[in-house]
Structure 1
Amino acid sequence: MPHGQLAQLHLNFPCRGTGDYQIDYKPAPRISEADKTNDQRSLQRALDRRLYLLVHGTTHGSDSGKPVWHFPEKVYESEETLRKCAESALESLIGDLSHTYFVGNAPMGHMVIQPTEDKKTPSIKRFFFKSQVIAVNKFDIKKCDDFVWVTKDELLEYFPEQGEFLNKMIIS
């Protein structure tokens, strides 16, 4: 082809879809079976809200050593970053992290737990990382007594004494 000329390609498709068509579309319901049965172990509930994972078991820094509801956690040891520590904590519960996405490298918040009056428990800094579930409806959660997926409002019922902090940290 001589210099300065353009090659043009014209595609001609036959007209399809001419005429009137009626598409019967019915959106899926927002209320799932898990909502109707209040199945907090299911990710198929409160489909229009964010859900947060809580696990039941012993937690670091607990005064009594009794099992309580808490976020997945791990004591920072020798990981490269705090995020790697958070990933390790979640991986110990759900195994493969291929269906999760950690939002950013920095924590979304932190709180300092002061020592108890008897000074048996040192002060602890808890860092919170945000991660999201992607393209999966169920996890095989292990290494805990029980687990629940809760909305922000339900989360505040589990931790009423930290309600102000959680309201600031978590966007509905």
Structure 2
Amino acid sequence: MHRSVRAISLAQSLKSNKRGFNSYSSNANNSDKIVASVLFERLPVVIPKIDPAVYAFQEFSSRWRQQFQREYPETFLKKSEARGTGDYQIDYAPAPRITEADKTNDKRSLHRALDRRLYLLLHGPTFGSSSGKPVWHFPEKLYEAEETLRKCAESALKSVIGDLDHTYFVGNAPMAHMVMQPSEDARKLPSYKRFFFKSQVIATNKFNVGRCDDFVWLTKDEMLEIFPEQAEFLNKMIIS
């Protein structure tokens, strides 16, 4: 008897929750606007330079350990130094950390700022700006009838770079969101929520970016110069 009562109450609860979800979805489509944005990043290609303070500490630690290291006989050290020597010699020159794109300040190239993370920004009209006025923005799309919000984000990025073969979306849930108010020139538009999804560049150093007037790959510091009013939010969302 108790089991049947519990089963009925659980079914009623699930039914009411389903009705609530459907009514919320209907209201969201009619009033609340949702935009899926993609923070598309290229991870560092080379190891960043060591901070001077960290380098000084490592040097101090090395000298400190040398005071207590074991002393080996001179004959043993000579054998160790002679190991691996021969007539051969390998000439190795590491690739430069400063590329041609760095020298020419080519911000449309992924082959720059190799020790930093780069983020894709597009220039063109977007939701929330005045009609036809181009602005800098992330790849984004107004949520309409996609199965999930991540599908909407994938569609936004795919429409810009053509396919998602060299991309990796980190997780199914958004990494951050913010409520946006319309600009002074677009007060007729409703306020909307922008949800950010993270995606990363995989195994390529060039994309054919389209559907925009212009595009750039920027470091976090360069991006904050474009969005100074959102610096606090971006500093919390992007940790680099």
Q: TM-score range by the shorter chain?
A: 0.7 to 0.9
Aligned match of 1:44: 111
Root mean square deviation, CA, Å = 1.6
Contact 2:129 2:183 survives alignment (8 Å): no
Structure number with larger C-alpha Rg: 2
Distance between the aligned counterparts of 1:119 and 1:24, measured in 2?
A: 65
Aligned match of 1:53: 120
Identity of aligned residues (%): 80
Distance between the aligned counterparts of 1:169 and 1:163, measured in 2?
A: 10
| Alpha-carbon offset, residue 116 of structure 1 | 5.4
Counterpart of 1:120, as a letter, is K
Contact 2:129 2:182 survives alignment (8 Å): no
- Which aligned segments of 4 or more residues in structure 1 are displaced greater than 4 angstroms? 115-119
Aligned pairs, number: 155
Please give the secondary structure, in 2, of the residue aligned with 1:56: strand
**Is 1:100 aligned to 2:167, yes or no?**
yes
**Is 1:68 aligned to 2:135, yes or no?**
yes
Contact 2:179 2:192 survives alignment (8 Å): yes
Question: Which shows bigger deviation, 144-153 or 109-118?
Answer: 109-118
| Alpha-carbon offset, residue 151 of structure 1 | 0.3
Counterpart of 1:91, as a letter, is K
Aligned match of 2:229: 161
Distance between the aligned counterparts of 1:119 and 1:94, measured in 2?
A: 31
| Alpha-carbon offset, residue 63 of structure 1 | 3.2
Aligned match of 2:180: 113
Distance between the aligned counterparts of 1:110 and 1:65, measured in 2?
A: 25
**Is 1:127 aligned to 2:195, yes or no?**
yes
| Alpha-carbon offset, residue 22 of structure 1 | 3.4
| Alpha-carbon offset, residue 24 of structure 1 | 2.4
| Alpha-carbon offset, residue 61 of structure 1 | 1.2
TM normalised by structure 1 equals 0.85
For structure 1, which runs of at least 5 residues remain unmatched after alignment?
A: 1-17
Distance between the aligned counterparts of 1:119 and 1:127, measured in 2?
A: 21
Distance between the aligned counterparts of 2:102 and 2:187, measured in 1?
A: 44
Q: 1:166 to 1:25 in 2, by over 3 A?
A: same
Distance between the aligned counterparts of 1:62 and 1:115, measured in 2?
A: 7
Please give the secondary structure, in 2, of the residue aligned with 1:69: strand
| Alpha-carbon offset, residue 119 of structure 1 | 4.3
* Structure with larger RCO (C-alpha < 8 A, sep 6+): 2
Aligned match of 1:91: 158
Bigger helix share? 2
